[in-house]
Amino acid sequence: MVGTLFCVSALRLGIAAPSAPGPGLIPFGAAALLVLFSLGTIAEALFTSKREEALPAIISRRSWAVFTVLVVLFLYALFMPRLGFVVATFLALACLFRLSEGQTWKRAIGASLFTTLLTYLLFSRLLGVGLPQGLLEFAGF
């Protein structure tokens, strides 16, 4: 599907001729090969005797942990500019530490607070990385 989309877009860009290659010529070639190899992979899976080891289960007992990490990361990317680095990182890390087996909310919050302040001092104050201040702008964080 991705290959086909790229093929169509590359054709719109114009492939011109090999003697005067247009901006779409080489992407079109790569996309066509992607379609070809993907069809080959499907055919291989369907028609040949497989010697590959069995695929690991896509959904496992702890898939929820993966899902939670991803949700936390997406929310972090979405709200970090508004909340600021310190607040967003503190909240995200608290959730991630809590995700670990055997961690209580109290310990997770403590570890998150310590790590956030340490990384803020290291990256923002020491290395001069420009991190958004957000809600704590008034306090100079």
Partner 1 sequence: MDIFTGIIGGFSTCLTPMNLLYCFIGVFVGTLIGVLPGIGPVGTISLLLPATFHVEPVSAIIMLAGIYYGAMYGGSTTSILVNIPGEAASVITCLDGYQMARKGRAGAALGISAFGSFIAGTIGVIALMFLAYPLATAALRFGPPEYFSLMCLGLAILTYLAHGSMLKALSMAMAGMLLSFIGLDSITGLPRFTMDMVHLMDGVGLVPVAMGLFGISEVLINVEETVQRDVFKTKIKGLLPNREEWRRSRWPILRGTIIGFLLGILPGGGAVVSSFISYGLEKKLSREPEKFGTGMIEGVAGPESANNAAVGGAFVPLFTLGIPANVTMAVLLGALMIHGLIPGPMLIRQAPQVFWGTVTSMYIGNVLLLLLNLPLIGLWVKVLRIPYRILFPLIILFCLIGAYSLNNTTFDIGVMIVFGLVGYLMKKFQYEGAPLLLAFVLGPMMEQALRQSLLISHGSFAIFFTRPISAIAMGLAVALIASYFLPALRDKRLNLEE
Q: Please report, as ranges, the residues that interact with partner 1 according to CB under 8 A.
A: 2-3, 6, 9, 13, 17-27, 30-31, 33-34, 37-38, 40-41, 44, 51-52, 55-56, 58, 60, 62-63, 65-66, 69-70, 73-74, 76-78, 80-81, 89, 92-93, 96-97, 99-103, 111-112, 115, 119, 123, 127-131
- Measured in degrees and rounded to the nearest 5, phi and psi for residue 105 equal -60, -35
Q: How far is the CB of 87 from partner 1 (least distance, A)?
A: 14
Beta bridge pairs of residue 16: 21
- Of 38, 129, 41, nearest in space to 89 by CA: 129
- Of 9, 6, 11, 35, nearest in space to 22 by CA: 11
Q: How far is the CB of 139 from partner 1 (least distance, A)?
A: 20
Which sign does the torsion angle of CA 72, 87, 77, 123 carry?
negative
Q: How far is the CB of 125 from partner 1 (least distance, A)?
A: 13
**CB nearer partner 1, residue 3 or residue 141:** 3
